[in-house]
Copies of this chain bind each other. A is one copy, B any other.
């Protein structure tokens, strides 16, 4: 599944192990592990079809309290509708995809782990850091993959590889841009956990992944510039966050709920010997020139488009985890760490001062 495996004679990248068999380089049919999808909503619609197509997995059951949604997903993917109890009781089921509403994540994941299944869980584990910390012992030893999909994005992975290869020398600072194209509907705000826990949390995970050191101090400042209704609901829509590590590395995170120009997803890394940056993905490569200047296509509009590759790769990674061939790229502890940073951001914003991480926990 690595890009590095591409060659003129191989179509491994596009069609996975099955096709390597066709090319005469494999030795037999891929074994598939049966998985359950919990939740056929927004993220379930991303992960369910991906699981159905991933060599190494078979989407066996769909669980959703809304019968129509469950039925439609099951029909579309060749799966069956089931209750969670039924699905977990099936001894052939080896994995569970937790894509339910956020307030169900922790409970669903716990049940699946306790049934001995490998678990993929959408982020966040829960909005309440206390609950997440309390449950941590029950996840000891579990095969638990947390849905920080950006670690699987080919562009950010390429950036990480460059940094690890020393392309810019010792890392000194990061700049992370995460701008959503359009503000969410106001009804989404009250249960979202707020900008930092809902949105910035991805950037906090990216920062931890790339900085190579834990942030020890956080300063966040934010405004409500996009939609006054968001402000009335107690949230913000525009923020800048500065993280600082023990050795003095700095990371800025730029967030807005509405860019007006697509899903701006960029990371710049600065080091002792240079700079490396992962840029936006354009919808097509066409450029036009006339006397007024040059025009080009918009950037990818929103998460399903921009991160489609990362979602596929993440489920492929989950297949490897479920087969026991890989350790989860992101686990329960990563969920805790990102959530703790998000809480520190909230507190910094509210108190108007930098927050030391140890004082926050």
Spell out A's residues near B (CB within 8 Å).
3, 6-8, 11, 13-15, 18-19, 21-24, 26, 29-30, 40, 45-46, 48-49, 53, 68-69, 72-73, 75-77, 154-155, 157-159, 162, 167-169, 172-173, 175, 179, 181-182, 217, 219, 221, 223-226, 238-240, 242, 244, 248-250, 252, 254, 256, 258-262, 264, 270-299, 301-302, 304-305, 308, 352-354
Chain B residues with CB under 8 Å of A295's CB are 293-296
Given A24-B68, A284-B155, also A173-B76 (CB < 8 A): no
| SS class, residues of chain A in contact with chain B | mixed
Closest to A181 in B: B8
Q: Are B293 and A297 in contact (CB under 8 A)?
A: yes
Given A285-B278, A286-B159, also A260-B291 (CB < 8 A): yes
Chain B residues with CB under 8 Å of A297's CB are 158, 293-294
Q: How far is the CA of A7 from the CA of B181 in the complex (A)?
A: 10
Copy count, this protein chain: 4
Q: Are B285 and A280 in contact (CB under 8 A)?
A: yes
* Contact for A167 among B6, B225, B274, B288, CB less than 8 A: B288
Q: Are A298 and B289 in contact (CB under 8 A)?
A: yes
